Amino acid sequence: MTVTRWGALYRGRRFACAIGRGGIGHKRGEGDNVTPVGTHRLTDVYVRGDRLQLPGARVIGPRALWCDAPDHPDYNTQVQAPFGASAERMHRPDPLYDIVGVLDFNRAPVRPGKGSAIFLHVWRGPRVPTAGCIAFARVDLVWILERWTEGSRVVVRG
């Protein structure tokens, strides 16, 4: 899948999407709101099991968090509440994280402060900026993930 500021293209189909409010580029660090340029693998898919079923996806439970504390050993990984450091809630009242595709950006090895929680997820609306993630209409994200293969990649171009 190719992603630019104008949208995404996957398997011959074009999709509207939202990117980080900092645009597409080289991430400077945690909280810069930049969608990272490059070629990324999808390492995991999570869903809110009470709202959606997607074969092969892990379930986002009510205690699910994503650690965004650069000085913590669990930085940029999924953790459970209660948790003693800064972390983003994955089990949200809104639909943004009903589906989460985790990109391999800063995952192995993890570099503290480089950036965390770079996901594919459900958007707030067309072209409404994210904090660095790539967001789609729910129906489009389901379509993409149902056709995703191990060889598929997210290619983000600036």
For the annotated catalytic residues, the residue numbers are: 121, 133
| DSSP string covering 80-108 | ESS-SS-EEESS-SSSTTSEEEEE-TTTS
DSSP state of 25: E
The secondary structure of 27-72, three-state, reads CCCCCCCCEECEEECEEEEEECCCCCCCCCCEECCCCEEEECCCCC
Q: Read off φ and ψ for residue 72, nearest 5 degrees.
A: -95, 145
Judged by DSSP in three states, 151 sits in coil
Is the peptide bond preceding residue 95 cis, with omega within 30 degrees of 0? no
